[in-house]
Structures are given as C-alpha cells and as structure tokens.
Structure 1
Amino acid sequence: MVLTIPDDGEDPLGWLAFAQSGVLTTAQATGLLGPGVVRRRVRSGRWRSVCRGVLLTGNGLLTRDQQLWVAVLATGPRSVLAGATAAAEAGVRGLRREPLHVLVPATRRAGRTVLRRLPVDMAAVVVHRTSVLPQAHLQLARPPRTTTARALVDAAGWARTVDEARAMLAAGCQQRRVSPEEIRAVIDALPRAHRRHLVRRTVDDIAGGAEALSEISFLGLCRRHGLPRPSLQHRRTDASGRARWLDAYWREWGVHVEIDGSHHMDVREWAADMRRQNDVWTAGDRILRFPAWLVRARPDEVASTLRRALLAAGWRPAT
C-alpha cells in the first residue's frame, strides 16, 4: 500500500493515516468516522483488522514501518520502540531486526492476549516494563522510540549473551550513532539496569580506543591476568610516511599486538598487514598477532604469550 500526502487540510483521517503509515487504533478510527463506518470498511475488505484494537487502512501485507506502528499501538498508550529495534531505527547497523522490542510503563500491563494473536505477516513483539523513562530518554520520532543511548543500554541488558551486549554497544559507538558519554549519562539514571557494570566498563574501554568486540575482549583479558593496559588504535608513521594504526601497543616496552578479524584473510589486507608488520619489526619493536577468535576462546593462552613477551621486553609486575 502506498500512502500519499492528503492535499485537503481538512482531512484528519487522511493525515493521521499518513502520519502512522496507515495503521490506526480502533478508537482513533471510530472517533473520526463512527463505529458503523469502520465496521463496514473492515467487513468489505477495504480495511484490515490486524489485531484487537488495531486497524490497517488497506488490505495488503504489513510493511516494516507498519509493523513498528502495530507494535506500539497494540501495546497501549505511552509505549515506545526500545532496545535493538529503536537502535536500528536510529541507524545502528548489524542488529537483529526481530523480534520487535517495546517499552511500556511498569504501572500498566500490555495486552498479552493481543500479542499472542498477531497475524503471520507481523513480527513477534517483546514487551519490557520500566519505572524509569524520563523525557530525556525519548526521541522525537514516529513511531515513538527511546534515544539511541537508552536503546543500546536496554539492548545490552536484554541481549542473550555478554558478547552480544558488548557488540551492540561497540557498534553504536563505532558507527558514530552515539557517544560513550551519552551512554554513561543513561546508565547513571538507571541504577537497577541489567548488566549495568558491564555497560559502564565496555563504554570505558570504547572511550579508551577500543573499536571492535575483539579489542574490548582483549582489554578485559589484560585486566583479568594482571597485565598493564595497552594503548589502543595507536597512531604511528611508517617508513614511507603513511599513518598506521596499531591495535594494541605498550610504548614503554615496545610490544605491539595485532588482533586479526576475518577481513585479514583477504589477500590485499594480508599484504598490507605484512608491510605494517615489517615496519614494526625493523623499528625494533616486538609484534604479536592473534586471531580474534583465539582472544575470546583461549584467553589464558593469549595472556601467557603476552606475559612472556612483556617480561622479555623489561616489564616487571607490581609486587
């Protein structure tokens, strides 16, 4: 269904349908047309009943925008898109598109019966409740949603795994959709947020230079094994005068670590890595390389190698 902008300034139904992508509550529709007209339009097939209390001013399959409107309208007043759904609508890439996450006030119960009877062309909806949702955490958008910072904090708390939580926070900051400072401000306002300490530590790592999940895992590894904190994404000029960025670098001891993701398997990336590695070696520094999966799967092995390299370079653990 294609919605056009009403050219009649006195057409409230047309404007409301346009503003809400053709999705209306039954109360909205009957308030403008009366219950009899609404019933006739549904029975004739001109309109479609999506679920109890929600109508589509057409009879086609639901688009993505319409599914989002159904999610917030079906769950009642003051419902907003939240978590990964709100973050994705704000432009954060790489997040799960389904299910749709909705946040409602803790004092109100969303219609679970309604959500169990959604049509097959509608994504599943997960309802979360909160007692803390200040105006500062709401984005002026349609459909209504939380700010990107609040969305990512909630998404991290609702994530299935710790790695997924960290990856979502890293994605939002790396893609410049939100800053670590904005996330810190949200977490300060949510003293009971799930994984609150994890969120704070992750954004601290991001603010310190970590841009990928592998680098965040690497910093956690260093902390757990009593190793000194390296500089991340350290800028260095190579022999040809070009700027190079080192994943992790201990300047005092001349130890450099590269964390290789899947892109390092590309031939061009591999050649560039070799040139960068040669520049580091010829400058006298030690260089270690670990695949990202090894940092996560075998942290003790990585830490042992790091410790030996740092000790050989002159580092002495604090006694």
Structure 2
Amino acid sequence: MVTRAQLRTVGVDADMVAHRVRSERWQQVTSTVVATFTGVLTREQTMWAGVLHGGKSAALGGLTAGERAGLKNWHRDEVTVYVPYGDEVPPRLDGVVYVRTRRDLDDLLQPDAAPRRCRLEPSLLMFGARDRSARTAQGVLAAAVQQRLTTPGRLLAWIDDLTPLRRASLLRSALHDMEGGSQSLAEIDIKRVCRVQGLALPTTQVRRRDASGRVRYIDCQWRLAGGRTIELEIDGAFHMDAEQWEDDIARQRSLSDPNRLIVRCTARELRDDAASLARDLRRLGVPSTRAVSA
C-alpha cells in the first residue's frame, strides 16, 4: 500500500502508475492510494489504506488501535482512523470510519507503530467517551486490564491528560474499582449496586478449593459473624447454554458446605433489577452500611 506522493519520490510518475493499473498489475484503492497487487484487501491492508488515505497526520484509533495492541473479543468490522479536526474529512473508503478530533494526534501516537496508530490507553478512553453505551465504555477498559494490556493507573493518568473527556467521572470510578481488584464489568456492577443500595462491599475473585481439591474462583464473597459466608455467582449470557448450566450446578454443589450459602444472579439483574437483588442479599444476611427504612 503506497500513496502516489510516495511513489513520486522514487521516480514513479502518474503515467507509470496508470500503466500498471490498466495492465492489472496494480490497483487504485483511492484517489491517493495505490496497491501494488490486485485482489481484495486484507484487514491489515485496509488499515494501511485507511491511514494513508487519511493524510499525513492520520492514525488508527478506537477499537482498531486496541486490536493492533492485542485486545481480544472486541472486534468491529469497520477500521477506525483518527484525523485532525482542522483537516478536510477524507473521501469515503469502504470499511473505514474517519473520526475527527481536536486533540494533537502526535501526542497520542504509539512509537514506531506501522501503520501509524494511537496508544492503547487514549484510544480506548476516546472510544468510551464517544460510544452511546456507558456500559460498553466501562467494559472495554475492564477487558484491557483483565487481558493485562494496561493497568488502571495508566488509564487514570491518561484521563487527566485527555481533559476534558466525556464520562471522565464514570470511567475514573470504574478504574478505581479495578484498582481494588475488580476484573470484569460484572464485578464493577456489583460494587456499584452495593454502594447505591447500602450494602457492605464484597471481596471479589476469591480463590477456593472445591470438594475434589480443584482451585475455583468465586465472583463475590461476604464473610459473616461466626465463620459463615455468603457467596454470589454472577451469570452472563453464556451460562444459559445447557452444557454450561449443568457444569454450573455441579460446581455450586462441590463448593457448598454447611457454613457457606451460595446464591446466583444474572448480569441482567445487576443492570435492571438491582434493588430486588440487594433486598434479597440483605435478607440473607449481607450487612448493611446504612439504616434501612421499614
């Protein structure tokens, strides 16, 4: 993938380009970008085309920059390219979305990246600020931390560097929860529910051995007086699969004992029915942090 301007610097003029395109050895991708091959562009070639077509200051951003940095399970078909706000928006290119920004892209760049791309942290924070879903904004940060691509501390520092940033308060709160050990959006949600509903915060990702000696991790745990515990498992959509559901039943049985109460909820309940969940947890013995009216 190469621009016409780059070709001119090595002595390949417009007539030579036109001849190679006519003879179907090369193909014209855009008015400014040429591919020195024919056929459908791969994803990486589309990224190169998007950046080259975007102009000298353009850089991969958003989830595309996250993908290049190793982020898993957050794929989007479109390639996101950031361009300076003052520049004219490049003509449409299939598979590429151009996002204008007033930020200085040179300050956000990942050194030595090819094609040019922004660092992981500002890319994900800027994506989270633009996306219509606040949960998606928090979820992608949790995923990047869980996959050990960055840390809450680095992301918090970038929030300050990117001021003003939409949703900064929400994202900062989520990152503080991650610093406290939360490894998923569900764990962040349960801590938020407990704060709002006046319940003691749980310990998350508790390491336990089941009846067979196998190491397991409990989503949330509250230790009560007398050595008893209440443990909450949060089920996402994949738990609805029949085989997973059966595994969950066996897992819960193997972790149970007379001093341990294990209850379950769904990720949807955390989002949409938090008050009912909190009421049940309180009734089962989870301590309150404030007086509850009758």
CA shift for structure 1 position 239:
4.5
The yes-or-no answer on 1:125 pairing with 2:97 is yes
Residue matched to 2:191: 219
CA shift for structure 1 position 160:
2.7
* Aligned mates of 1:132, 1:283 — CA distance in 2: 60
Q: What does 1:45-194 align with in structure 2 at a 5 Å threshold?
A: 45-106=24-85, 108-112=86-90, 114-115=91-92, 118=93, 122-133=94-105, 135=107, 137-194=109-166
Greater CA drift, 262-271 or 31-40: 262-271
1:229 to 177, 201, 204: 201
The yes-or-no answer on 1:296 pairing with 2:284 is no
Q: Which runs of 5+ in 1 are unaligned?
A: 1-22
1:250-278 CA distance string (max 9 Å, x none): 12452211112234345665455445534
Q: Is the contact between residue 199 and residue 282 of structure 2 (CA under 8 Å) also seen in structure 1?
A: yes
Identity of aligned residues (%): 34
2:216 to 244, 264, 279: 244
Q: 1:105 to 1:35 in 2, by over 3 A?
A: same
The yes-or-no answer on 1:199 pairing with 2:171 is yes
Considering only aligned residues, what root-mean-square deviation do their CA atoms show, in Å? 2.4
Q: Which runs of 5+ in 2 are unaligned?
A: none
Residue matched to 2:5: 27
* Aligned mates of 2:113, 2:259 — CA distance in 1: 54
* Aligned mates of 1:26, 1:137 — CA distance in 2: 24
* Aligned mates of 1:179, 1:101 — CA distance in 2: 23
* Aligned mates of 1:213, 1:26 — CA distance in 2: 46
Residue matched to 1:13: none
Q: Is the contact between residue 198 and residue 288 of structure 2 (CA under 8 Å) also seen in structure 1?
A: no
Provide the aligned length of Structure 1 versus Structure 2: 287
Q: Secondary structure at the match of 2:44?
A: helix
* Aligned mates of 1:235, 1:124 — CA distance in 2: 44
**Normalised by the size of structure 1, how large is the TM-score?**
0.80
The yes-or-no answer on 1:44 pairing with 2:31 is no
Aligned residue type for 2:197:
H
Q: Is the contact between residue 101 and residue 128 of structure 1 (CA under 8 Å) also seen in structure 2?
A: no
Q: Secondary structure at the match of 2:205?
A: strand
Aligned residue type for 1:154:
M
Q: Secondary structure at the match of 2:29?
A: strand
Greater CA drift, 70-79 or 231-240: 231-240
Q: 1:303 to 1:288 in 2, by over 3 A?
A: same
1:264-311 CA distance string (max 9 Å, x none): 34566545544553465424133321122222222222122122223x
Greater CA drift, 181-190 or 271-280: 271-280
Q: Is the contact between residue 66 and residue 120 of structure 2 (CA under 8 Å) also seen in structure 1?
A: yes
CA shift for structure 1 position 140:
2.4
**Normalised by the size of structure 2, how large is the TM-score?**
0.86
CA shift for structure 1 position 175:
1.8
